């Protein structure tokens, strides 16, 4: 399978040419019918894909899926939608989820902006997660960062009143940039106080990537805002 997307001049990611294992490849045949959602099916009906009800959390860019899988297992009463463009990560997540009989997960392998614009209902999300996005640290590439003022307002439209926007990054400059974007965005309030970073919420697992960075002395910044 290939990622689904509409044509755009600027993207927040680059499709990496990572090879899929046989297990990841076969996961699409076995588990995609259970977990997969298609961009081209248009708006979703949450009561249909999650008939048991419960809060809905959407995460963009789940990588290889370790932390998202952990969250689905530790909060079985909460429903999770993951969006990722890289097939090896998607294949790994749905393979692990299927083997562990996870019931509260759906996945898009598509451009996140396309999914948010075309598929996610207004005022439907309890929490939005953006963990360790590509910082595009060179100034000339900053326009590729997914976190832009327009994106922040798109997310606000999808959050329920009181819904949470949660971003985490290990790039201090990106954290400062994100804090400025969120602090000046209409319709949000900083859960930690004006221009303050949050203590890591218990629901966000530590990733291997994060643990490796901490050993090297890298910091991690959590930015948590609420839709007002």
**CATH superfamily assigned to domain 19-38+47-120:** Vaccinia Virus protein VP39 (3.40.50.150)
Average pLDDT in the chain = 91
Q: Which of 103, 83, 94, 113 is nearest to 8 (CA)?
A: 113
Residue numbers annotated as active site: 134
Question: Residue 136: its pLDDT value, please?
Answer: 53
The domain locations on the chain are 19-38+47-120, 122-132+141-228
Question: Residue 141: its pLDDT value, please?
Answer: 46
Q: Is pTM beyond 0.85 here?
A: yes
- φ/ψ bin of 65: left (φ > 0), alpha (ψ from -120 to 50), beta (otherwise): left
Alpha helix stretches (DSSP H) within 112-228: 112-118, 149-158, 172-183, 208-215
Q: Which residues are 79's β-sheet partners?
A: 56
The answer to whether the 19-38+47-120 and 122-132+141-228 domains have the same CATH topology is: yes
Q: What is the mean pLDDT of residues 126-147?
A: 81
Top pLDDT among 4 and 109 is at: 109
Most confident region among 7-16, 20-29, 90-99 by mean pLDDT:
90-99
Residues near 124 by Cβ (< 8 Å), separated by ≥ 6? 46, 56, 158, 160
**Token pair in block for residue 27:** 């996961």
SS3 108: strand
Burial of 89: CB neighbours in 10 Å, binned 0-12, 13-18, 19+: buried
Residue 44: pLDDT over 90: yes
Residue 135: pLDDT over 90: no
Residue 14: pLDDT over 90: no
Sheet holding 79-83, edge to edge: 36-37, 105-108, 79-83, 56-60, 125-131, 159-169, 221-227, 188-190
How does pLDDT run across 154-180, given as a tens digit for each residue? 999 999 999 999 999 989 999 999 999
Question: Residue 19: its pLDDT value, please?
Answer: 73
Question: Residue 39: its pLDDT value, please?
Answer: 95
Query: How many other C-beta atoms lie within 10 A of the C-beta of residue 63?
Result: 20
Question: Residue 101: its pLDDT value, please?
Answer: 97
Residue 75: pLDDT over 80: yes
CATH topology for 122-132+141-228 is: Rossmann fold (3.40.50)
Question: Residue 204: its pLDDT value, please?
Answer: 97
Q: Say if residues 91 and 85 touch (Cβ distance below 8 Å).
A: no
Question: Residue 47: its pLDDT value, please?
Answer: 97
Sign of the alpha-carbon dihedral angle for 111, 173, 185, 123: positive
How does pLDDT run across 91-133, given as a tens digit for each residue? 999 999 999 999 999 999 999 999 999 999 999 999 999 999 9
Question: Residue 7: its pLDDT value, please?
Answer: 59
The rounded percent of the chain whose pLDDT value lies above 90 is 77
Give the single-character DSSP code of 217: T
Question: Residue 36: its pLDDT value, please?
Answer: 98
């Amino acid at each position: 399978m290939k990622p689904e997307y509409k044509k755009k001049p600027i993207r927040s990611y680059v499709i990496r040419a990572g090879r899929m294992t046989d297990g990841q490849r076969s996961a699409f045949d076995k588990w995609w019918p259970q977990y997969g959602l298609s961009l081209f099916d248009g708006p979703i009906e949450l009561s249909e894909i999650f008939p048991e009800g419960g809060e809905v959390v959407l995460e963009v860019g789940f990588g290889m899926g370790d932390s998202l899988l952990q969250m689905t297992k530790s909060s079985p009463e909460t429903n999770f939608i993951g969006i990722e463009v890289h097939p090896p990560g998607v294949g790994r997540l749905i393979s692990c989820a299927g083997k562990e009989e996870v019931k509260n997960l759906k996945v898009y392998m598509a451009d996140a902006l396309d999914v948010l614009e075309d598929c996610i209902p207004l005022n439907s999300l309890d929490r939005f997660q953006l963990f360790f996005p590509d910082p595009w640290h060179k100034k000339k590439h900053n326009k590729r960062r997914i976190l832009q003022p327009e994106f922040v307002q798109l997310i606000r439209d999808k959050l329920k009143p009181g819904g949470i926007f949660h971003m985490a990054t290990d790039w201090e400059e990106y954290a400062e940039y994100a804090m400025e974007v969120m602090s000046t965005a209409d319709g949000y309030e900083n859960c930690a106080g004006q221009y303050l970073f949050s203590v890591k919420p218990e629901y966000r697992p530590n990733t291997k990537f994060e643990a490796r960075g901490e050993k090297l002395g890298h910091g991690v910044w959590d930015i948590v805002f609420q839709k007002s």
